[in-house]
Amino acid sequence: MKKKYQRFTVSLPETLLNEFDEIIKKKDMSRSDTIRKIMRDYIEEKSVELAEGGNLKAGSITCILNHEERPGVMDELTEIQHQYYDVIDATLHIHLDGENCMLVMAVRGQGQSIDTLSEELEKRPEIKSIKKIFMPLLSEEKKRVFKHKHNH
């Protein structure tokens, strides 16, 4: 069965479109193919993110922060990680330069708890940026991931 396509118009700042075109040219992709891929990724990401709070999630929360901004901030972040031990499987702390670090948390478990952790991190002034990536899990995968998490 042939897919039906629909055209639409998007208004963008010229500089944004130029940057976009430069990148897709280097990747040897068309605008249409790239926008379709971006839209699929966005729908997948937001569908998982916006699902009911009690659902199961697996993914990562990555933060860029200035550990020099305030004494004791790293100890406070470690305490937060201990409070959410039930959903944080692992963390990775990377020194980017003399002041900035990247903190990556692999998370898995109840969506509501992961969302609360993320919200708590977003409120912290030391965190310059935060990126959450959640993978969609099929129902059987959810059961297996959750069961594995809580049997250890």
CATH (domain of 102)? 3.30.70.1150
In terms of domains, do 89 and 71 share one? yes
Strand partners, 135: 58
What's the pTM value of the predicted model, to 2 decimals? 0.67
> 5 vs 30, 32, 42, 47, 118, CA distance in Å?
15, 11, 19, 22, 37
User: Residue 5: inside a domain, yes or no?
Assistant: no
Least confident of 37-41, 46-50, 57-61, 69-73: 46-50
Residue with the bigger pLDDT between 93 and 143: it is 93
In terms of domains, do 61 and 44 share one? no
3-class DSSP state of 124: coil
Least confident of 24-28, 63-67, 95-99, 148-152: 148-152
In terms of domains, do 42 and 67 share one? no
User: Residue 141: inside a domain, yes or no?
Assistant: yes
**The predicted structure's pLDDT at residue 151:** 58
User: Residue 8: inside a domain, yes or no?
Assistant: no
Q: Which domain holds residue 65?
A: 53-150
What average pLDDT does the chain have? Answer: 86
In terms of domains, do 42 and 80 share one? no
What one-letter code names the amino acid at 18? N
In terms of domains, do 38 and 102 share one? no
User: Residue 131: inside a domain, yes or no?
Assistant: yes
Residue 53 — pLDDT band, cuts 50, 70, 90? very low
Q: What is the pLDDT of residues 124-142, one digit of tens each?
A: 989 999 999 888 766 666 6
Residue 148 — pLDDT band, cuts 50, 70, 90? low
CA-to-CA distance for 88 and 92, rounded, in angstroms? Answer: 11
